[in-house]
Structure 1
Amino acid sequence: MEKTLTLELKFKTSEGKNKNLTLRNPAAELTASAIKPVMETIVGLDVFDIEGVNPYSIADSARYVERIITDIL
């Protein structure tokens, strides 16, 4: 059995679409008060541009995603 943990930072693009930034092997005890300022910094940098669209325009939410893989054959 293999278990992985990722931290998924969810943003809105400048066009209002959803965009995720996924981080592998995050510290498992991060809180909203620790994550929110980092997301706001990413938004504030305004350095990302893909064909005129900022993919990280608005910080939306964050969540841990735990995945368990069990081989059966």
Structure 2
Amino acid sequence: MVKKLELRFKSAEGKTKVIGVDQPVEGLDPMIAQAAMEEIINQDMFEVEGIKQFAAIKDARYVTRTVENIIEEV
């Protein structure tokens, strides 16, 4: 089973933008996640053609998936 943390934002255009974190801390405090996301927004580091990519918080979530290899790496 593979777990990933997704920090999901809205761009200035209203599109969903995601920062994915592999092997995240389990049981992350929602207030800490929100503060981190607000800091990413406040840094104003990500723009494409003048459009702010991380303009607002949408949500944060853990995503879990199961991976089953049928052929191992040779």
TM-score by structure 2 length?
Answer: 0.87
Please name the residue that 1:41 is paired with.
Answer: 39
Please identify runs of 4+ aligned residues in structure 1 that moved more than 3 A: none
Alignment of 1:1-73 (within 5 A): 3-72=1-70
Instruction: Tell me the secondary structure at the aligned position of residue 63 of structure 2.
Output: strand
1:18-52 Cα offsets, whole Å, 9 max, x none, are 11111111101202111000000000111111111
- CA distance in structure 2 between the partners assigned to 1:13 and 1:27 by the alignment: 26
Q: Distance in 2 between matches of 1:56 and 1:67?
A: 26
TM-score normalized with structure 1 length: 0.88
Aligned length: 71
Give the unaligned 5+ runs of structure 2.
none
Give aligned-pair identity as a percent. 34
- For structure 1, the 5+ residue unaligned runs are none
SS at match of 1:14: coil
